[in-house]
A and B are shown apart, each in its own frame.
Chain A
Amino acid sequence: MEEEKSSPPSDLTSESSLEHTDHDSNKATPLKKIDVLLKATGDAPIMRKKKWAVEGDKRVGWVADFIRKYLKLNSSDNLFLYVNQSFAPAPDQLVRNLYQCFGSDGKLVLHYCRTQAWG
């Protein structure tokens, strides 16, 4: 896999990081990107690049699909995304809403695990 450099245009990322230090992001425009930190739990593979800037109007399902592609998972492999160590958001939930509810220190931490859930 190639070496990742900071990916999105740096002016957009740094601008969004500065403006996300407070939680008053009701003023967030749809294009404002949110710093998302992806953390592995259990025996899930750890992503080499963990911190991503994601547009607020992207949905959780998009982030899940992205992690699947990054980790080269099959669609039959289990992947659970959750926030605050406990709650699995719906796939159609906006990243912006998750950040407003669960974000801290200017970022949203999303955990993912690959545990088989049923059976």
Chain B
Amino acid sequence: MACLTYEEFVTGCRVLLQVSKELGDSWVMCHSASDSSTIYLSKTQCFKADLSTSISELTAEKSESPDEIDKLIEDFTQEPEPPDPSSVSNSTPGYIITYEYHIVYSLSHSVPALYFNAWYASGKLLTLKEVWERVSNQFCEQIADNKWNSLTQTEHPVLGRPFFQLHPCRTAELMSNVCCESEQTPKDVKKYLISWLSMFGPVVGLEVPITYYNK
């Protein structure tokens, strides 16, 4: 199982912060008010409400269901129509949702955990149901299949306020499959957090650009 000690987590956070600064991203390190040695990372991002549908347009399957996999490769032509700037959109006007993401160390599982809150421009927080509906298309069926065990609202371990959380119970198992080539190969602590974020972030709208990994 690929777990992290708290010290390794802090190392990973510093690396991620460094890369974030170099790339002009907005991650910051925050400290607990009661215990300054307890840290977490925070990032705020705004979205237009129809962001998840743009991803679905790019990845949606439109070809006829193939009988042969080989035919699928030859015939699969999935090109979204180029946008016509003169067309009038008849969808509801877009609105802004603000997400605040926190990367926090989970003491009980010895792995990082992703917490977040989301609110409309009016300040009204999204409900759990609305958060489930906004899970990106790539993951929405996986989450929906098991949503009460995957993405729920819980108390932020540092701030003590309600935050949404992607459950970290299986993180160690996933990371051991991904990061460790074998039992004997030690995990790369510096890359662990960025790898983990690239798996968990996109579920809730947090994209990790490919440039993070090139650094």
Contact = CB atoms under 8 A, between A and B. Distances in A.
A104 to B, nearest CB: 14
Interface residues of A, number: 45
Nearest to B78: A62
A88 B139 CA distance: 13
A89 B58 CA distance: 14
A112 B5 CA distance: 27
Interface stretch (B15-23, B95-103, B176-184): B176-184
Contacts of A70: 69
Interface of B, helix, strand, loop or mixed by DSSP: helix
Contact of B178 (A61, A86, A98): A86
Interface stretch (B6-14, B84-92, B162-170): B162-170
A90 interface: yes
A87 B166 CA distance: 19
Contacts, number: 132
B149 A119 contact: yes
Contacts of B72: 66, 69
A104 B203 CA distance: 29
Nearest to B79: A57
A101 interface: yes
Interface of B: 55, 58-59, 61, 66, 68-70, 72-74, 76, 78, 138, 141-146, 149-151, 166-171, 173-174, 177-179, 181, 188, 191, 194-195, 198-200, 202-203, 207-210, 212-214
List 9 A-B pairs, minimum CB-CB distance, nearest first: A61-B59, A119-B149, A76-B145, A42-B177, A7-B70, A86-B195, A88-B198, A87-B213, A75-B141
